[in-house]
């Protein structure tokens, strides 16, 4: 009986160590992103977003997310840049599929040019969302990442609700030991 318990313990520890070896130290992602403004004007903004995440262990990391967007020509010349930071929680139980959820807070800088007049504003930005990494290679270094998030922009006493859709490529750097 003692040998069976010892064998189960050794297998459990071995599995935990093997799982930790598959966790990257960091990942860098870049891709196409859209923001759908759902309150007020209701329009799409298109652009790109990128993120850098540092993983503390196999389930918790800290992420910095940056994006730049432009509205279609029918909505003046509206542009927005986001800079967000926060925790990311990953579920690393499979080799090729890693779902995650994150909560972010930071800011948004927007500007609009209309008939020669330019207006610039800064606002609080916050959000939460989820996505998944679909590992593309056998070494686990490259992945495809779709994700969707709620983003709120708060300024002058009101909040504008937005939904962000993104798809990009991830490069996973190093391995946690």
Of 166 and 79, the structure prediction assigns the larger pLDDT to 166
Residues 126 and 154: beta-carbon distance below 8 Å: yes
Average the pLDDT over 79-84 and give the result. 92
Express each pLDDT in 43-69 by its tens digit. 788 999 999 999 999 999 999 999 999
In 22-173, the DSSP E strands lie at: 26-37, 43-55, 60-70, 79-90, 97-114, 117-135, 142-155, 158-173
CB atoms within 10 A of CB 141: 16
**CATH code of domain 2-173:** 2.40.160.20
- Structural domain spans, the chain: 2-173
Give 105-129 pLDDT, tens digit per residue. 999 998 876 544 445 678 899 999 9
């Amino acid at each position: 009986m003692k040998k069976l318990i010892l064998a189960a313990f050794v297998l459990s520890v071995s599995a935990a160590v093997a799982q930790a070896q598959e966790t990257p130290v960091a990942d860098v992602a870049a891709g196409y992103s859209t923001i759908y403004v759902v309150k007020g004007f209701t329009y799409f903004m298109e652009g790109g977003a990128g993120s850098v995440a540092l993983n503390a262990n196999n389930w918790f990391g800290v992420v910095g997310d940056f994006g730049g967007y432009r509205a279609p020509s029918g909505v003046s010349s509206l542009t927005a840049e986001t800079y967000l930071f926060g925790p990311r929680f990953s579920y690393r139980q499979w080799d090729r599929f890693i779902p995650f959820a994150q909560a972010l807070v930071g800011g948004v800088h927007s500007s609009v040019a209309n008939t020669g007049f330019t207006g610039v504003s800064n606002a609080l930005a916050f959000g939460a969302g989820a996505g998944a990494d679909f590992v593309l290679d056998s070494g686990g270094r490259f992945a495809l990442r779709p994700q969707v998030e709620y983003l709120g922009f708060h300024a002058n006493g009101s909040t504008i609700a937005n939904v962000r859709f993104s798809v990009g490529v991830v490069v996973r750097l190093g391995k946690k030991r």
